[in-house]
Amino acid sequence: MKQNAIIWPEEYLPGTTDNYCSNEVIVKGLTTLDIWPLLNDPFQWPTYYANSSDIEFENNGQTEFSGNTRFRFKTFGFPIEAEITEHVPPSAGEPARIAWHGWAEGDADTKLDVIHAWLIEDLSGGRVRILTQESQIGKPALALATQKPNPMINGHQDWLDGLVAAARSKQ
């Protein structure tokens, strides 16, 4: 069985940036339709992922992502400005996708630039695959890449585990 992959802009191609992390879970008993609403509505993130806070949409009143949505949030201690770059809701036989370009303004020592992408796809046997990957550029990314344990890998695993638990609690 072929599994789908994240679509990367060339500048953020894994292995060419200052930091890259990839986390994935495959779980039985959930579908893309169970996961999507929890990920597509960032105001729900803090209910299952403690490392996200202060979510704001540039267009006040909007609560879910759509193409080119601009938003802000805090994660890993960084205030992040972000814009949705890929938004593909679930459809039969195709993976759902969300990706955003995020950045933290600053000088050469504090500026951070990332692409964070998600792929959610239904698999045979009543399983769902949730893949999240992030590719980062900047000195803060270099610092994160050398920390042990890796805070990005551990943080994103917490996000995945919380997302799955939240989806299960809504069944």
Q: For the domain that residue 29 is a member of, what is the CATH number?
A: 3.30.530.20
In a domain? residue 162: yes
H or E element that contains 5: none
In a domain? residue 92: yes
In a domain? residue 64: yes
Cα 154 from Cα 159, distance rounded (Å): 9
15-27 pLDDT per residue, tens: 999 999 999 999 9
54-99 pLDDT per residue, tens: 999 987 678 899 988 999 999 987 899 999 999 999 998 899 999 9
Tell me which amino acid residue 151 is: P
Cα 51 from Cα 41, distance rounded (Å): 16
SS3 label, residue 3? coil
In a domain? residue 124: yes
In a domain? residue 139: yes
In a domain? residue 12: no
Domain range enclosing 115: 17-169
In a domain? residue 1: no
Backbone angles phi, psi at 86, to 5 degrees: -145, 130
Q: How much is the pLDDT for 58?
A: 87
4-51 pLDDT per residue, tens: 999 999 999 999 999 999 999 999 999 999 999 999 999 999 999 999
In a domain? residue 154: yes
Examine the pLDDT at 1 and tell me if it is beyond 90: no
Cα 78 from Cα 112, distance rounded (Å): 9
Q: How much is the pLDDT for 152?
A: 93
Backbone angles phi, psi at 45, to 5 degrees: -50, -50
Cα 73 from Cα 125, distance rounded (Å): 36
Q: How much is the pLDDT for 60?
A: 66
DSSP string, 47-114: HH-TTEEEEEESSTT--S--TT-EEEEEETTEEEEEEEEEEE--BTTB-EEEEEEEEE--STTT-EEE
The domain total for the chain is 1
